[in-house]
Amino acid sequence: MSSNISVYRICGFCGFEFLAKKTTAKYCSLKCASKEYKRRLKNQKIESSNLQTIKIKNQPLIDLKDKEFLNVRQLHCF
């Protein structure tokens, strides 16, 4: 079954108005969809890297909190 539906949409990447043939269309072209996909991947990698950095940065503090007693050398790091 074919449909004669045509809907005006705003592209999720470039922001231009386009005539969509499906109601689920988000992007005006394959080029815009590919660029948005790459941007999402890049942002996910950056967020993952930031979380990993924070985790590594906080790891020594977590290790020290678990100990009941600390010596002078362990405190010297901070």
Q: 3-state secondary structure string, 2-26?
A: CCCCCEEEECCCCCCEEEECCCCCC
Structure tokens of 1? Answer: 């079954």
Provide the pLDDT confidence category of residue 2 given band limits of 50, 70 and 90: low
**pLDDT > 70? residue 48:** yes
- Determine contact, residues 17/9, Cβ cutoff 8 Å: yes
Q: Is pTM beyond 0.75 here?
A: no
Pick from 6-10, 37-41, 52-56: least confident: 52-56
Q: Quick: pLDDT tens for 13-41.
A: 999 999 999 989 999 999 999 999 999 99
For the chain, give every domain's residue range.
7-76
